[in-house]
A = this chain, B = another copy of it.
Amino acid sequence: MKADFVNPFISGLLNVMSTMAQTTLTPGKPQRKQSDVAKGDVSGLIGMVGPEVKGSMSITFDEQLALTIMERMVGERPGKIDAEVGDMVGEITNMICGSAKRELGEKGYEFGMATPIVVSGKSHSISHQVDGPKIILPFMCDEGHAHLEICFDK
C-alpha cells in the first residue's frame, strides 16, 4: 500500500481531532505485521468498496481519550462510554473516511463508503481480514492513545 493511499486518512484524523475537539495527536511508528492488532475500548469501523479497491478502516480510542474528545466537543464529560460517545465515534469515523475519499477521488481512486459500525468493550481487539497489506498507525496525546488501521485487498 502506497503512502499516497494512507496519508489522506492520517490527515483526515489529525484535522478532525484538531478542528472538532481541539486535540493534537502525535503519530507513532507504523506497524505492518499481520499479527499486530490494535486494542482499545471504543472503535469506529467502516468498509470501503470501489471498482479497483476494497478494504476497511478502523479508529480505536482508549476510554479516557474518547471521554476527553466528547468533553471537548459537547462541553460535558460522560462518566463512561455510552451511546452518545458511540455516536460521536461513528461520526468521527465517517468524517475521516469521507475526507480521505474526497482526496483519493481527486487522484482517481474512487470508492464508496459503507455505513460505520461502533464497537464498545474494554480492551477489545480488531482484526481486518484482508489478503493485502495492513497498516496500524498509533497516535498519542496527553489524554491517551488512538490507533488508526487501514487495510486494502491489494
Is there a chain B Cβ closer than 8 Å to A127's Cβ?
yes
Do A56 and B115 touch (CB < 8 A)?
A: yes
Copies in the complex: 2
Distance A85 CA – B130 CA, assembled complex (angstroms): 15
Do A115 and B127 touch (CB < 8 A)?
A: no
Chain A interface residue bracket vs B? 35 or more
Contact flags A100-136 to B (C-beta < 8 A → 1, else 0): 0000000000011111111111111111111000000
Contacts of A54 in B (CB 8 A): 112-115
Is there a chain B Cβ closer than 8 Å to A151's Cβ?
yes
Distance A153 CA – B114 CA, assembled complex (angstroms): 9
Do A125 and B119 touch (CB < 8 A)?
A: yes
Do A47 and B56 touch (CB < 8 A)?
A: yes
Cβ of A38 to closest chain B Cβ, rounded Å:
11
CB closest chain-B residue, reference A152: B115
Distance A123 CA – B153 CA, assembled complex (angstroms): 29
Distance A58 CA – B114 CA, assembled complex (angstroms): 13
Contacts of A152 in B (CB 8 A): 115
Distance A61 CA – B35 CA, assembled complex (angstroms): 22
Q: Of B115, B120, B129, B153, which one neighbours A151 at CB under 8 angstroms?
A: B115
Cβ of A80 to closest chain B Cβ, rounded Å:
13
Cβ of A79 to closest chain B Cβ, rounded Å:
17
Is there a chain B Cβ closer than 8 Å to A138's Cβ?
no
Contacts of A91 in B (CB 8 A): 129
Q: Of B49, B90, B122, B128, which one neighbours A129 at CB under 8 angstroms?
A: B90
